Structure 1
Amino acid sequence: MEVGTTRRIQPRADHRSSIVEAGTAACRLYGPAKTNVADIARLLGKSPASVYKIFASKAAILDAIAGNFFEADLRFAASACGELASVASRLKAIALGQHRLMLRARHGDSQMFDLIVLAAAGGWPSFRDHLKRLESYVRELVCTGIATGEFAPRNVDTAAACFCASIISLWDPRIIGALPLSHCQLSAHELASFAVAALRPSSRGEESMATRCGR
């Protein structure tokens, strides 16, 4: 790449980052529904036209803001559970850890939580990418668990997808936003434990019962 090209790209990247930062501030101040491009431009000290040179629409800006929030504030650190003894424990830890991040956003950053609810409801790329990251990490753990014999042999992609689908209520902001404020963490623990247990090898007694039941 030529030096001149590098110089052109860098200011554009910096401008994009500053728009996302200003947009985040505007969302927290006015809420995502009331935030407009003029508000963002005013916080930047620039014209709306300069913002539209980087983002084609307000929707594109909001999606970028949501993506940044998913990446920076709602990404459970895998290293936080890396020292746990079993793969099952690590899998449960990420399920519950991600859920706690969502609850923290709901209770402590309500305007941004409203934004990610919109992202989930609209199937925005930011939300889809967030779920893909989670499923990718789950897939790695399932693969490790099968390799070590902790989980039963099965199709890794299918097992990971089923696990994520079974606990989606812990990760989907639309569902979390509908929960009562007194929501008990115990039910989340029970759901995560149930989902992890489904990955373990069946005992002989369970296999015999499944055979008798025609499964």
Structure 2
Amino acid sequence: MAPTSETLTAERILEATEEVLRRHGPAKATVVDVARALGVSHGSVYRHFRTKAALREAVTKRWLDRTSGELSGIAAGDGAPEARLRDWLAALFAAKRRKAGGDPELFATYTVLTSENGAAVGEHIADLTSQLTRIIRAGVETGDFAAGDPQATARAVFQATGRFHDPSHAREWEEPGAEADFRAVVDLLMRGLRP
């Protein structure tokens, strides 16, 4: 293998892993394929990620963190809580649709990887519900929302909107009427949250 001129970092390995997964799929992608794409030995990859499972979990977490990162700015914003909640839910739906429709092969790959990496998925869901809690708590503080327990309410909102962000519903996201269904659910939730 030709030596690489760039320093091998975890981020470079994750980028290469994503490309290898896109090309070969989760069943056929190997650490050797990742190393070959980087022009290094597979031992070099293992110095950063001790096992293939650790590498797959890290690339899954990275993929999920992109969505969390997109949404965190909305959650941390200072606009009206109802508008922030609507924007956050719409951004989550848009991000999931973009991932599913923009690169269907990679989305299918990550659907497999998320089923293998329950810890990464659990952390992702915890982060998303934490962001929702922040928005709902702000709404309670301003009097826009009535929620005795903002954290429980955030979990309920997340679960109630599952059809619009859970990958198991990806096929439904492009069906006629999906946008109208989304708006109807969000409107219903907003009415339920108002004092």
Secondary structure, in 3 states, of the residue corresponding to 2:9? helix
68-77 or 100-109, which deviates more:
68-77
In structure 2, the CA distance between the partners of 1:74 and 1:107, relative to structure 1 (3 Å rule), is: farther
CA distance in 1, matches of 2:113, 2:183: 26
Q: Secondary structure at the match of 1:46?
A: coil
Q: 1:189 corresponds to which residue?
A: 183
Equivalent residues, number: 187
How much has 1:66 moved relative to structure 2? 1.7
Match of 1:23 in 2: 17
* Change in 2 beyond 3 A, CA 1:149/1:191: same
3-state SS in 2 of match to 1:32: coil
Which residue does 1:4 correspond to in 2? none
Give me the whole-angstrom Cα distance separating, in 1, the residues matched to 2:69 and 2:101: 17
Distance between the aligned counterparts of 2:190 and 2:117, measured in 1?
Answer: 27
Segments ≥4 residues shifted beyond 6 Å = none
1:145 and 2:127 matched: no
CA-CA distance at 1:156 after TM superposition: 1.6
Equivalent residue for 1:157, pick from 151, 162, 181: 151
Report what 2:58 is aligned to.
64
Give the Cα–Cα distance (whole angstroms) in 1 for the partners of residues 140 and 94 of structure 2. Answer: 27
What corresponds to 1:135 in structure 2?
129
Change beyond 3 A, Cα 1:54–1:73:
same
CA RMSD of aligned residues (A): 2.3
Higher Cα Rg: structure 1 or 2? 1
Q: Percent identity?
A: 24
Q: Is the 8 A contact 1:152 1:200 kept in 2?
A: yes
Which position in structure 2 is the counterpart of 1:89? 83
Match of 2:93 in 1: 99
Give SS of 2:193's match. Answer: coil
The residue that corresponds to 1:36 in the other structure is 30
Check conservation: 1:120, 1:172, Cα contact below 8 A. no
The match for 1:115 is 109
* TM-score relative to the length of structure 1: 0.77
Which one-letter code corresponds to 1:188 in the other structure?
F
TM-score by length of 2: 0.84
1:74 touches 1:102 (CA, 8 Å); kept in 2? Answer: no
Partner residue in 1 for 2:44: 50
Amino acid corresponding to residue 12 of structure 2 in structure 1 = S
Counterpart of 1:207? none
Q: Any unmatched runs of 5+ in structure 2? A: 1-6
> Where do 5+ consecutive residues of structure 1 fail to align?
1-10, 202-215
Q: Distance in 2 between matches of 1:30 and 1:93?
A: 36
Q: 1:126/1:83 Cα in 2 relative to 1: closer, same or farther (>3 Å)?
A: same
In the TM superposition, what is the alpha-carbon distance from 1:52 to its structure 2 partner? 2.1
1:204 maps to which residue? Answer: none
